[in-house]
Amino acid sequence: MKQIIFIITIACLLGACRQQPLELFDQEASQSNIYLKQFFDASRKSSSAVFQTDTATYFWVGMGFFPAEVKDSVVSFAVQITGKAADHDRAYRLLTLDSTTMQEGRDYTITRAVIGAGKYIDSLQITVHRNEFMIAKPLRLDFQLAGGPELFINMPFAKTAYTSYRDSINLLKYTLYADNSTSKPYLWTNTTYAAGTLSFFGEYSPEKVTLMMKAIGLKMTDFTIMPKGGFDRNNWFVWSRYMVWWFAKEATEGRTYTTSDGKPITMGPSAQG
């Protein structure tokens, strides 16, 4: 069976990021420092609402929501540098904190920890390996950027604009959770949303969610983690109607889709209208 790998990118789509230097330090005195771009960007915001986002303190990968053939998920975090870009690749290390319950090699692999030549922003890539150890309870990877021969961590914190720069946010640490439990996403189980989800999206299947991610460009967390302000009900209509159109387009090109037990994948009755 052909192995499928899902790729998840947070903080920014690296291809769309503008490669602009952040000259916060004297290059000679402080050299090039690395930090997690997401947290520095958050520190510049004038409202604390930015910290109400789901990925402000951790990122969660629900492997159990993917079809059985998905064995790995590649998670990308945007890492930025101070100072100037180099004409060669520069590697850095990660420090695993004591609170980590994942095991490297068994549960995850660090597949890229490099600032590429000519880049101010590059991706830290961690591949999560689906296995039985993350079924009973989620496993966690608490990590910290640790620098390298040419990359340093002299910028561990940034003052937060929304507190008038009285407080600070850590720019080096993050937590990645992974689990392999086979439960339904909250949209199909939460009493507030289940009826509407069934009406617009139809019965749940991992294959359906995977196709919605592919067709619309959604993330797994759009289905599995409830936003602080609740699910936007407009998405029922917008996403479901788009999928009706997409399935029709695919059918005209000779492509149809079924669940693992052979049932056609369709949207709910309210999506057809």
pLDDT band at 29 (very low <50, low <70, confident <90, very high): low
The two tokens of residue 220 are 């797994």
CB neighbours (10 Å) of residue 193? 18
Classify strands 90-91 and 70-81 as parallel, antiparallel or unpaired.
unpaired
For residue 165, how far is the Cα from the chain centroid? Answer: 28
| Ranges 33-37, 39-43, 253-257, 265-269: which has the least confidence | 39-43
**CATH H superfamily, domain 4-179:** CalX-beta domain (2.60.40.2030)
3-state secondary structure the chain: CCCEEEEEEECCCCCCCCCCCECCCCHHHHCCEEEEHHHHHHHCCCCHHHHHCCCCCCEEEEHHHCCCCEEEEEEEEEEEEECCCCCCCEECEEEECCCCCCCECCCEEEEEEEECCCCCEEEEEEEEECCHHHCCCCEEEEEEEEECCCCECCCCEEECHHHCCCCEEECCEEEEEEECCCCCCHHHHCCCCHHHHHHHHCCCCHHHHHHHHHHHCCCCHHHHCCCCCCCCCHHHHHHHHHHHHHHHHHHHCCCCCECCCCCECCCCHHHCC
For residues 76 and 31, the model is more confident at 76
- pTM more than 0.85: no
> How far, in Å, CA of 147 to CA of 110, rounded?
15
| CB-CB contact of 70 with 97 (8 Å) | no
Best mean pLDDT range from 101-110, 162-171, 183-192, 254-263: 101-110
Condensed to tens digits (0 to 9), the pLDDT of residues 146-182 reads 999 999 999 999 888 877 787 888 999 999 999 998 7
Condensed to tens digits (0 to 9), the pLDDT of residues 69-113 reads 889 999 999 999 999 999 999 999 999 999 999 999 999 999 999
* Domain ranges within the chain, ordered by starting residue: 4-179, 186-271
